[in-house]
Structure 1
């Protein structure tokens, strides 16, 4: 595991499964056969080397007579599957009363469909394993809980026009992604704007970034580039990003114009 917090969760789960298994008088191979997994998988889970899926925990709970104690760990285990940087960002998003993001290479992660995210992670180099791709996609989709929480946060996006046209994952995936943007853009607490390529004045030429405003009034910046993922907490730097984002929104198409623009691009793809 890439961080101690996740490793601690998996060690705890592994010890619990081992204790219940031994109390039931079962060997690892016998438990594996009973729940539909191999001995190696059971051994790896008990040693905190593999992350058990929800199905594993539910079946182990039933076979070992744990009375729901193993199944109750599913939420913590699921979070442990996500990379630490994703968990940290998700925590900030949960606290934010306002979130804003400008993107110029791809559709923002909070707006991505599973298929679009899958295609992005599949093209990474050095290549991810299938398990790593699954973890990253699941983590990205889990962050979408920010759209549904109460009280509602104000969530705004500015997408560069080119992100609407780049066929990540192929034309069908792109069409589904554009349809999803139109759906999300109609939510009352969400605003999606498009920055046309023909704009002469553009405050976002330094690259993509995000701005988060927390309940206590603090403003944070965020950006991810290649191997680096940073939260900007210095008040002066965060203020610069906040001002820059406001200028980008002013230069982009209005939300109403942007949805019409997305519909136009979608029509060109069909």
Structure 2
């Protein structure tokens, strides 16, 4: 397993905690695999903690203090690294996403978060929380818009999205919002900021009918896969699970329309939404 890269401890509490973990592990003369065995986790999980791509939970912090003889250092400091502007079930995945070099995502009923417009995101958040205060909704929208800033980098990450046709035909927020959302999606595809494929209805049964998935690769940490349901999420680093879901994603891309045909469909639907808004 490649060693973790040097981290800038001033960049974030999680980076500081990861750097301290690496220092304590090496001082104890343990490899990532050896420390993982004592914690009953994988060596790759330890590597992700050190690289700052995984959040350190309190139970893990307590075990680290016991195994590494660091008194209560990790338990005392893991709280600062756990603070997040994202919903609890998604926070760790969102923060890992920010450091990914490649993101491959399949979404059934939504335009992926990184590709959403503010108006579309607002409609989604309001649907999730119909009784929330307006300022709470705006905080969620701001967090989602901030996530999308990673696409401002012309070199990273590679974002490859397979979107079910159902997500394009469901009028989230109304036709005007959908017209804008699909034009934005098409613009990102034309600018080369995302590879977008549409999984058409005519594809029939496919390998991911039970849910959405997100695969994330990193320069100096093992890959992750994220599964999401209604109000729940699960981040996995098990190599066998990641490998299986990578194969699932390959099957999806084989069933989907080509990027060119997908773009044509997206732009056609955007025009339909916009035309139907006219008097």
Which of the five TM-score ranges fits, normalised by the shorter chain?
Answer: 0.5 to 0.7
Structure 1 segments unaligned to the other structure (5+ residues): 6-75
Distance in 2 of aligned mates of 1:262 and 1:82: 29
Contact residue 224 and residue 236 of structure 2 kept, 8 A: yes
SS at match of 1:221: strand
SS at match of 1:96: coil
**Are residues 1:170 and 2:174 paired?**
yes
1:241-260 to structure 2, matched below 5 A, reads 241-260=245-264
| Structure 2 counterpart of 1:30 | none
Q: 1:148 aligns with which of 128, 152, 156?
A: 152
Compare CA radii of gyration and give the structure with the larger one.
Answer: 1
**Are residues 1:90 and 2:94 paired?**
yes
Distance in 2 of aligned mates of 1:172 and 1:258: 21
Shift of 1:82: 4.2
Structure 2 segments unaligned to the other structure (5+ residues): 1-12, 14-79
Distance in 2 of aligned mates of 1:183 and 1:189: 9
Contact residue 96 and residue 212 of structure 1 kept, 8 A: yes
| Structure 2 counterpart of 1:240 | 244
- Aligned residue pairs total 194
Contact residue 103 and residue 158 of structure 2 kept, 8 A: yes
Shift of 1:89: 2.7
Distance in 1 of aligned mates of 2:129 and 2:190: 35
SS at match of 1:230: strand
Distance in 2 of aligned mates of 1:198 and 1:181: 22
| Structure 2 counterpart of 1:223 | 227
Q: CA RMSD in A?
A: 2.2
| Structure 2 counterpart of 1:11 | none
Contact residue 96 and residue 153 of structure 1 kept, 8 A: yes
CA deviation digits over 1:210-243, x for unaligned, max 9? 1101113622111221121211111111111111
CA deviation digits over 1:229-258, x for unaligned, max 9? 211111111111111011101110011110
Distance in 1 of aligned mates of 2:131 and 2:151: 31
So what's the TM-score if we normalise by structure 1? 0.66
Shift of 1:90: 3.3
- Structure with more contact order per residue of length (Cα contacts < 8 Å, sep ≥ 6): 2
